[in-house]
Structure 1
């Protein structure tokens, strides 16, 4: 019996558990569009920009760790989806991108030879596979019908095995419409994970734990990607070791957990960085140990600690950006299942970490007045105090993202989504995917008026699918983050606000045009009422616009001005606003640099 190739593709991925699609229809994907549309088991979401489709897919997979599909037509439609593919690659998400293509006989991949390299030949063609290969686990253009089944198997195996990441298939329009033999669709299973470690590795970790007086755990995104948050918490409770989190792992532990110390790195908080820097044993679980965590001076990072680095990607373990004492290539699920020894008591150290947390958690600027607009820290502190649990916060770009990360208060069943690219236009569209993945959760994208302009058209998608998003829109009248940078470095500004050539529309008029409820707040005295109205609204999406001042992150890494007028950079634990040297020395345990 014969079946159309596009029908087989759609059936194949659904039989293997994928049921969610984000798409824009187009001519070179017409058979795929038809096959998806006729299939009764797909939840299809039609959007207004391919980048938005990709970001929504990213939000979906970030929320539930499940694979989903983005389908575009050829050429510029496909290239529009490359940025979210990059995010899926760097944030390790199982998103399948399928793009249409011109006829296989007219494809640039088929036409070009060693002696003839054309830029363009037919229709909306482009060599999309060459473009996306660096940011995918597997990328393939199907140029003949005989390879369809094998390509689909290879694509799906890459999607579900190893470190997660995106896959890209390019299907020419003529191949889509051909008839092929309807063979049985194989149901593919995740392969058993082989780990490159020995029992001695476990013994070595245990010996380090026995000798340690001040251990700390860095919780990374791999804990979420491995769906092992509960195993992680059980591990923490057994060994009673304090933990700090990276921004992508913000939600692996609640803020009120006695073992939670804070947030770390270049944009971390004082409590988290103090705990990390004063430890004598650091165990990294599923954290890439990137520059934002280690910093620019490897000799300053956790400088009196032994460092154990556990990750399922051998490539990450090859880094030499700081002093690693033990590297283990292992899946975290297997690690948590297999690593079990008697626990040691670290009560004195735990109390010290709790002291730092109580002293510095949710640190705010001194001036919280509304003279120049509401201070974001002041608003966010009240918002997270009032907000219920079981919510999803999305923050990605601009000055507001660090304000949010410092103030977000993770409660039971909360999630926090962030893009490692810090890309504008991410929050609103990511929230669409998150709400689709978790329809019962309160989903709140938090963004600035600059990011709002990118993918603003997706407000109609929110209306179309009746998504009850609660959108916090911070308006400081500028690209706040880059204005801070320009002012600090150049004492001038260009293209960041009205006076330097950039302006923003009236958000209330935009909300009204889309039929979305809108409220705003300009004064501190009105914040509580605005938040209550915002949280209690239950008739669809709502936008709360906060007219705010430009506020950089507090605390932040900075340099100290010396007596001779020169500046000296400081390590993670010494953050601006600087503690008095007397207080700083009193709090420190390791040698001060």
Structure 2
């Protein structure tokens, strides 16, 4: 069997249904192995950045690994922005790049390049991936692939790059003789005593708040979160990437916090006496530049799978390294005795905050306020609608005022914040949803950065509904300049 055939067979066994790519010479054998297959679909987009971001959108919806491919040199480097987004937002993805033949490598020679389009993409992307693997040995291809998929999923998810030279792609192998990868790692365990202590604190407080981050989505802990809310009556606020998980319980949802958040959500956090932070890194946009003033009177509990995020920017009372789903399953067992009446007055206070400081203004005259428009759009969305936003004011207005129905999803980039991401995210999401409708919201600036992907939407007849908010400028940058200069 040819290595390239083995690679595609492996992807199918891992339940990868779509691969996003732009063709190139260094991918020739992999593309040939994809040709004519009915068990996996090749989606040819029109820029490698879009391929990477489509894989990101696909992974976010599927809750599993997305895959994108690009040729060597410029193809590989064009994917870097999308790779970085997956790294910062913890999206499981495997990026496969073609590479020149190993006998064309410059190795340690003091020259810049030997093979045409030879580029050491492995070294270039190391700071923005969980691992970057140069697949030089055909006999280790199973090992490379198993390692890539394990790392993409394990612990805090993220991207892995696999660089496969042309002569390795075309090499003959006997699959039964290939060595496997043995991870030998287990998820962290949490002390039952610590869980019980946290449960007692939650049940004894009067103004508790749950802060939901993207880790709740990645851990697929929505059911456990809703049970926590039903057991305790705790209001829920969210980070940008935790919105769709937080919105799943409409009666408890109290908005998005932070610099660009809802004022009533920030008031809820500021006046809380206990803050349970789930799967959020508590970045500066959430806590402000003086984190010591963030929820200053609250007992702070921070749960995250990444130990380096705990007590990083904000010192907390209970740092807990754990998978969110596992943590909540354990915590909920200790909460049956919580008195829901204890927080009734607090929930009423938050409702008064929401009524006093609404995020969507009433339309007046010919001018429609963007927040009002987004709020009205919510009532027209299907039950399981997927909304993808670009970066800029359109993202903030959507995050502040969108109301998703049960099962709805909100896809947007957090850490990288790439203008031009809405269309590729929507393409990946639409394929992941079985070509069901997806809404893409973008500004006139960001929309043009991947406008070529309109052709991908047309070619595949994808039901992507595009809402363009045209203010004839880069609105967020303009707002910043007007305020500071």
Which residue of 2 is the match for residue 396 of structure 1? 390
Which residue of 2 is the match for residue 166 of structure 1? 159
Is the counterpart of residue 232 in structure 1 residue 230 in structure 2? no
Is the counterpart of residue 425 in structure 1 residue 423 in structure 2? no
Name structure 1 gaps, 5 residues minimum: 491-593
Which residue of 2 is the match for residue 96 of structure 1? 94
1:233-281 per-residue CA deviation (whole Å, 9 max, x = no partner) reads 1121112111101111111133772211111011110111110110011
Distance 1:297 1:475, change over 3 A: same
Give the superposed CA RMSD: 2.1
The equivalent position to 1:19 in structure 2, one of 13, 17, 20, is 17
Query: Does the residue aligned with 1:183 lie in a helix, a strand or coil?
Result: helix
Is the counterpart of residue 258 in structure 1 residue 256 in structure 2? no
Distance 1:69 1:302, change over 3 A: same
CA drift at 1:363 = 3.6
Query: Does the residue aligned with 2:9 lie in a helix, a strand or coil?
Result: helix
CA drift at 1:141 = 0.9
CA distance in 2: counterparts of 1:37 and 1:322, whole angstroms: 51
The equivalent position to 1:477 in structure 2, one of 442, 454, 472, is 472
Which residue of 2 is the match for residue 330 of structure 1? 322
Which residue of 1 is the match for residue 458 of structure 2? 463
CA drift at 1:95 = 1.1
- Greater shift after overlay, 384-393 or 226-235? 384-393
CA distance in 2: counterparts of 1:404 and 1:154, whole angstroms: 38
1:197-253 per-residue CA deviation (whole Å, 9 max, x = no partner) reads 312211221232233111110011111101111111112111211110111111113
Is the counterpart of residue 380 in structure 1 residue 378 in structure 2? no
Query: Does the residue aligned with 1:455 lie in a helix, a strand or coil?
Result: helix
The equivalent position to 1:127 in structure 2, one of 120, 140, 154, is 120
- Greater shift after overlay, 292-301 or 423-432? 292-301
Distance 1:232 1:316, change over 3 A: same
Is the counterpart of residue 415 in structure 1 residue 409 in structure 2? yes
Distance 1:412 1:293, change over 3 A: same
- Map residues 363-378 of structure 1 onto 2, 5 A cutoff: 363-364=360-361, 368-370=364-366, 374-378=368-372
- Tell me: higher relative CO, structure 1 or 2? Use CA pairs within 8 A at least 6 residues apart: 2
Q: For the Cα contact (< 8 Å) 1:369–1:375, is it kept in 2?
A: no
Give the TM-score taking structure 1 as reference length.
0.77
CA drift at 1:367 = 7.8
Which residue of 2 is the match for residue 291 of structure 1? 284
Which residue of 1 is the match for residue 32 of structure 2? 34
Distance 1:440 1:140, change over 3 A: closer
Distance 1:184 1:278, change over 3 A: farther
CA drift at 1:328 = 0.7
Q: Which has the larger radius of gyration?
A: 1
CA distance in 2: counterparts of 1:262 and 1:231, whole angstroms: 19
1:130-150 per-residue CA deviation (whole Å, 9 max, x = no partner) reads 111111111111123233222
Query: Does the residue aligned with 2:95 lie in a helix, a strand or coil?
Result: strand
Which residue of 1 is the match for residue 268 of structure 2? 275
Which residue of 2 is the match for residue 454 of structure 1? 449
The equivalent position to 2:138 in structure 1, one of 136, 142, 145, is 145
CA distance in 2: counterparts of 1:165 and 1:276, whole angstroms: 29
Aligned residues: 479
Distance 1:186 1:362, change over 3 A: farther
CA distance in 2: counterparts of 1:434 and 1:186, whole angstroms: 34
CA distance in 1: counterparts of 2:252 and 2:8, whole angstroms: 46
1:116-160 per-residue CA deviation (whole Å, 9 max, x = no partner) reads 443222201101001111111111111232332222222122122
Query: Does the residue aligned with 2:339 lie in a helix, a strand or coil?
Result: coil
Is the counterpart of residue 351 in structure 1 residue 348 in structure 2? yes
